[in-house]
Structure 1
């Protein structure tokens, strides 16, 4: 079985690297390398945005979370789905028009241009925020790759992490944003195939083997068969907000997602993207939730040393080898799409926001592209070292990065878009408070009570509001 699956994996890796190489033959100015040069259709950007937003966390982390918690895990899916739909319906067109209006390529540069009074400080702060958390985020994806190789081929996790690093760096290195989006699109379809096909196969298996999801939920443990986890009173609110709180990270604060909105050509392309993104989200999260529930019926609690390997185990147990290889490649696709997109975000922040804009280096397009490629290699290697030395779970690491970046920048984006009195000092206060409080919050037992995904958003928003009122900009910012 492993030989057939291994061959399919090799063909998959070769395929996406070839696609990345072919896209690199496009005339590669720095703006094309960083944001695609407005050359991409809306449907392709939507597939890419969804693949980027739903990483190994969805296929490995969320399915394992549902297996370990039961029905109450649905609030995570609902929170995320509502956030995604809100972002596409309300924010996508705004991002597109603002990027065109101010001729910017990155989220940090957009904020800096909007608040000229402290532009360079803003570029530095936002870049440091993004790079600090995203290197761990990429590391989490690489750790997920190690788990997949271990489960599938009984391969040493270190070897799996190194292989995944090479493929991820290659897809970003060759053609930048164009390579990432086109390979994302193919991999997004592969992810969706895994999340749609596997629950159908699992439910057929459960039905033909006289198993019962409802009975298994009742026997799995306290609260598994309750939509509120079996808690009452104040604890219901805590559980709801902790699970639903993924919503706040989707409100414009994830630069790897907002880049897709900024790359849209026009409103017609945005409408295409909205349709694709919403359908993809509903199918994917319904499938992932059903996979977690089906696993509860198929396996006893405690069957896995790591619950985040539930999905690959189910694939290997339920499907013939040639199908298993395709579905397992869907997991690898989730890992690669998110990791290379985040590599591009960090790269664009360093090359465009710091080297080009803040330091004001006079470089040609070719030199800027070369610098971007060097940054891709450097960040990829650092992330690989993080993956090799960290034992944190995918769910937790992604959760913290979601709070540190999404929970911090989402209120900043919302106030920039919709509140005229938001000031440059308020923006700086938002970023600093979000960064500091996320680190402090996850370092204490508080994160086990109220998640930093929830607390960071509101703390950063409050600091932004207070400091904007206390220190308004002397000249009204561009609107």
Structure 2
């Protein structure tokens, strides 16, 4: 066993032990604790949990790789992920979360069911399950990448280990166990991300602040990129045209504001005021990673262009060979590494070069390999592996709870057995969680793309299904149940059909007007808005009491109508 593997096993074992202990200490015996942690999590801790829940394996593992190595190797194009995900969080925190928290329901289907109708609740359950399973596929795939490539454990075995850990603390502790585990996971992942970034920044630029230091290398990176046939690293619209930049950014942004596993986090706060402070803390915690990612991408890209390109296979650094051995560095299209033009070296070139590229580097390895690329010691490499697993498992657990609560609360308790006591509801919730983990494991073993691509698709589905129903449910009192249900069904169906048609793993079609499937969620969202508004004009309006409640939740204070609704009064 290598020194890297020893350190990695050590960090993973210690962090997994902490997660299991915290879950055991936080185990719950009632539905309030299982679904929303009893609504008593302090704002700073809740903010850290929100950040861990929201910053998935895509943020930790893939985002820097997308910025550095995405289509045409252009850093500017990767900014769609930075702008979309962070902008969406601000939108969620300001536009939706406080009002949903005041409305007082556990889940998005619960909100839709109370605001609109029971039919709407079932549609929302279906959408929540679809979005969450697509999203969780990316997380479990990320777990497999880490185990396979840093611990030399079979990728499928790695996914099974991740499933087991999540099963333990999610089934046992519910939202309460997940929340406090996610506080620990955020601590692990942010330390693991910042330490190598600070070390490499100091080494390359002499500035220990990555967000400042990487500005010093951009000119050199632009020059090298052009020489090797890439567009300038900072050139606008080289990776995506303006239309796709806008559509992908919007899909990620509005999808973030409609993610069920993030929205439910605001119910774990003590009150509306605490929910707002939780959002502020979360934004700070998120910014620590998101402002660092462009620096990590730039440092790694510069190192690759200078030290990997133009070296013979035998002279490539050790990290290159290790990732090549597991197939995540290969020739174009997954072919074996070959000196195609017989010049004695391997070339890493862009589409604009007359020299053929002979190296394909998977987006998902960049952050995991960055300590080695920067020449950092084995303990840092092990710490990064533990951070990647923390990011993947924290989001996976939140998504699985959404699936569990949607089935146990919105289907079983609200539709099948309203008289079920706390014990039966908890049992059904835990059984649903266990079943969801099995499906998640299968999707992690057979994902439809690389980690960030899969996650981006989930955001598009969330934008196309939930965002219009939530916004109109809060800000348009005359939005009807039939309109919301028709909009959600149409939005998610059209978006799923487009993705199935255009994704290379499925239909591989050309699509409409060159719209990338990751950006089609924006189109689906606009269709959803249109259908909802049109159908609402011709169907039965909400009751006067419900319209009054919608007005009241947008104003400070606890009004009588809001209080009656919280106590379970029927306002339809």
Output the TM-score relative to the length of structure 2: 0.77
Say whether residues 1:463 and 2:531 are aligned partners: yes
Say whether residues 1:56 and 2:64 are aligned partners: no
CA deviation after TM superposition for structure 1 residue 319, in Å:
2.5
CA deviation after TM superposition for structure 1 residue 125, in Å:
1.3
Contact 1:67 1:293 in 2 (8 A): yes
Q: Is the alpha carbon distance of 1:231 and 1:249 closer, same or farther for their aligned partners in structure 2, counting shifts above 3 Å? A: closer
Contact 2:448 2:454 in 1 (8 A): no
What's 1:249 paired with?
255
Say whether residues 1:11 and 2:7 are aligned partners: no
What's 1:73 paired with?
78
Say whether residues 1:428 and 2:485 are aligned partners: yes
What's 1:449 paired with?
515
Contact 1:245 1:454 in 2 (8 A): yes
The partner residue of 1:296 within 298, 301, 326 is: 301
Contact 2:52 2:183 in 1 (8 A): yes
Say whether residues 1:22 and 2:20 are aligned partners: no
- Which structure is larger by alpha-carbon Rg, 1 or 2? 2
The partner residue of 2:279 within 264, 274, 281 is: 274
CA deviation after TM superposition for structure 1 residue 192, in Å:
1.9
Q: Is the alpha carbon distance of 1:405 and 1:105 closer, same or farther for their aligned partners in structure 2, counting shifts above 3 Å? A: same
CA deviation after TM superposition for structure 1 residue 303, in Å:
4.7
- Separation of aligned partners in 2, 1:166 and 1:219: 48
CA deviation after TM superposition for structure 1 residue 188, in Å:
1.3
Cα RMSD of the aligned pairs, angstroms, is 2.2
- Separation of aligned partners in 2, 1:180 and 1:311: 25
Q: Is the alpha carbon distance of 1:344 and 1:218 closer, same or farther for their aligned partners in structure 2, counting shifts above 3 Å? A: same
The higher-RCO structure (CA 8 Å, 6+ apart) is 1
Q: Is the alpha carbon distance of 1:98 and 1:231 closer, same or farther for their aligned partners in structure 2, counting shifts above 3 Å? A: same
What's 1:222 paired with?
230
- Separation of aligned partners in 2, 1:109 and 1:245: 24
Q: Is the alpha carbon distance of 1:319 and 1:474 closer, same or farther for their aligned partners in structure 2, counting shifts above 3 Å? A: closer
CA deviation after TM superposition for structure 1 residue 443, in Å:
2.1
- Separation of aligned partners in 2, 1:332 and 1:250: 22
Say whether residues 1:366 and 2:423 are aligned partners: yes
- Separation of aligned partners in 2, 1:231 and 1:142: 28
- Separation of aligned partners in 1, 2:431 and 2:402: 14
CA deviation after TM superposition for structure 1 residue 293, in Å:
1.8
Within a 5 Å distance, the mapping from 1:258-337 to structure 2 comes to 258-300=263-305, 301=348, 303-317=359-373, 318-337=375-394
Output the TM-score relative to the length of structure 1: 0.91
The structure in which a higher percent of residues are helix is: 1
Q: What SS does structure 1 have at the residue aligned with 2:78?
A: helix
CA deviation after TM superposition for structure 1 residue 49, in Å:
1.3
Structure 2 gaps, min length 5? 207-215, 306-347, 349-357, 502-509, 551-572
CA deviation after TM superposition for structure 1 residue 221, in Å:
4.2
Q: Is the alpha carbon distance of 1:435 and 1:193 closer, same or farther for their aligned partners in structure 2, counting shifts above 3 Å? A: same
CA deviation after TM superposition for structure 1 residue 339, in Å:
0.3
Within a 5 Å distance, the mapping from 1:371-382 to structure 2 comes to 371-382=428-439
Q: Deviations over 1:108-144 (max 9, x none)?
A: 01111112xx31x222211111112322322221111
CA deviation after TM superposition for structure 1 residue 275, in Å:
2.6
- Separation of aligned partners in 2, 1:242 and 1:79: 8
- Separation of aligned partners in 1, 2:232 and 2:200: 19
Say whether residues 1:238 and 2:244 are aligned partners: yes
Contact 2:478 2:542 in 1 (8 A): no
CA deviation after TM superposition for structure 1 residue 179, in Å:
0.6
Say whether residues 1:473 and 2:473 are aligned partners: no
CA deviation after TM superposition for structure 1 residue 77, in Å:
0.6
CA deviation after TM superposition for structure 1 residue 474, in Å:
6.1
- Separation of aligned partners in 1, 2:94 and 2:134: 30
Q: Is the alpha carbon distance of 1:474 and 1:9 closer, same or farther for their aligned partners in structure 2, counting shifts above 3 Å? A: closer
Q: Deviations over 1:313-339 (max 9, x none)?
A: 112443322232222211111100100
Q: Is the alpha carbon distance of 1:257 and 1:362 closer, same or farther for their aligned partners in structure 2, counting shifts above 3 Å? A: same
Say whether residues 1:45 and 2:32 are aligned partners: no
Q: Is the alpha carbon distance of 1:244 and 1:362 closer, same or farther for their aligned partners in structure 2, counting shifts above 3 Å? A: closer
Count of aligned pairs: 466
- Separation of aligned partners in 2, 1:314 and 1:166: 28
Q: What SS does structure 2 have at the residue aligned with 1:222?
A: coil
Q: Deviations over 1:10-39 (max 9, x none)?
A: 111111011101100x5x211211111212
Q: What SS does structure 2 have at the residue aligned with 1:228?
A: coil
What's 2:320 paired with?
none
CA deviation after TM superposition for structure 1 residue 258, in Å:
0.7
The partner residue of 1:343 within 369, 379, 400 is: 400
Q: Is the alpha carbon distance of 1:29 and 1:222 closer, same or farther for their aligned partners in structure 2, counting shifts above 3 Å? A: same
CA deviation after TM superposition for structure 1 residue 231, in Å:
7.3
